[in-house]
Structure 1
């Protein structure tokens, strides 16, 4: 999970000061020392750490904290605000030209995930902004780069503009924009060539494309797993191209998070998007405040709601609510609900968005919960249609058959039946309490 190491260390540090009725300068000094060590261990640029700690110290021993009724809480507020500011302050939205198409030029080193990010960004624009993108294959050097983009285009059912490896990348970009104007595409996303390291030829070609097509956005794609190297790469590209934003890939695999915390401070350019998984729908708009909340264990309810609104079918949610209210909720409905939850992303990421979830027992073993859901799915799928509709039919021989068919034990089958019955009762109580309220509900099958 992104920032896991940093989050664990910071949450442990600030927990010691949160409940204090009175905070001394010594308390602040000890806390900031721990915060500094946590950030350095997370591979945050040391100059950035120094500046951040100085700002936290200055504010934490000032009037807003020392004269507060809850100084411990105020210190945490200061830390959160400074972390938010460090990552950019507020979300930097993607450009949209008054005269379409909006042109986005993607740059980065080989291996950073640039071509895949082109596909992810196109999927994001269509799904979240209702836009029609055209992908342009301008990487003529890397073997199979064009084929990779065309394969992504087929998976997404999106057009890819390509005229082969013999054409000049500048001409490819220009002709892609001409096609987009003719066929009324909203965006053109240009996949440019990368190299194993920053070199003069690469920069010259990118500069030529920039001059020829004057892009609305120049996104630099960097691999968060490379830590401070990602920041160095961002600096080099920014000096040459004056990029408009950064897309961090593999942020889900970087438990330290140093690159995300350093890039904005070092380059002055915002992080626009973050890759949170390998799937083509796992690209998120980067929200500094929400990320700071996640790091400090405060949850991220807004992102959780957005995921639900995007992935949970409204009609199904309403039908489900009615079934729960009337106690006609079945294992088929339960299976359908599990599918919607899985579409929202890994369970540990969803749980991290719930405020206070870090204190919940077993969260550190979130992978066990994922496996448990697989077992639950297998048990339900091993039931007959009648058994799913009416769990009351279950007897010893049926349970034994289901356990054998799902590769589980009879005790696991019994536990699921009991939990299902308890959940039905609980959800009926909850829906009765909410009668008369409008809006889309989200029912999560927590085991």
Structure 2
């Protein structure tokens, strides 16, 4: 959420930031809502001051035995009480109206984010490794998995409908191995604390990271009005909600391997075959809570941690900086890691690493107290995929495939596969 004080003091800078997102100017309308709120508060304060003054006058009138004046003053107090109750209702309404307007506006992009309307304007930052050369035409993961008899979309459709998969045997083990490998890497080498969070969260948690109210249609809601998490970013970031940390506690770095659930609203006709776009998938999430001064460096550190996964799996990838038109709602700046899929012949996103500034912290009321400073400040939050397990499985299958349709297990996963070095057809 944005700081209305910043908007009042920097209306043109705020509107310029929105314009880079392709959005119309909104500072004037927001300031008008704030003026309405301030006017109501001013009226309430004046009424309270008048009520206090009347109380003193009533005491003086009674002391002087002037009952008529005392009764008149008490009648005025009663009228003021009713007016103040109405004013308090108006104040709550004005605050809610302003908060709702602010909550619907995305974060402003950093100055070094490239401008552009959509993904076509994203800027490649660097690449790692080279595309593998094959003596045969590489297959896509679903052709490989189905031929191996270990990837069953038909059975999943009978159970749950479209955009689900049943993995079996060694492929199921490979997916589990990839997730365990990632979480061990981030906790063992990158300094993240492993968390096993709830998968069901309340409105406040989803609102805190910026997914509500704007992205309600992308989420699954339960019958008791909780939400299935679309990413572990939601519970991990909210671990610091409504708290004041000491500067010595920062940075906090959390990671979790969880199932994630997304309705994929608006994705009809996209990636309908295979595992690329599922309603349920596993992901390792990275979340950092830090100071404003350290957040840019923490962003680079998080990207390096996510890249380390793909490097150890010997996967070719590129990193792109997302343009203003392709960034997420809460992000100030985002790096996407796009892994090369030989079967598809395309780069596909496998991780997004974003710095959000104090945008989420304001919604969560998450603060810290700097050394030798009385007033607390909002923390900065960052999140990234470290990485998507299902897409990593796809990349491993397509990259490490053999001409006979078998899959070589990458050396980095050997310790997780119980001696299995090659996945072949079963049965």
With structure 1 as the length reference, what TM-score do the two structures score? 0.20
Greater fraction strand: 2
The normalised TM-score by structure 2 is 0.21
Larger Rg: 2
Q: Which one has a larger percent helix, Structure 1 or Structure 2?
A: 1
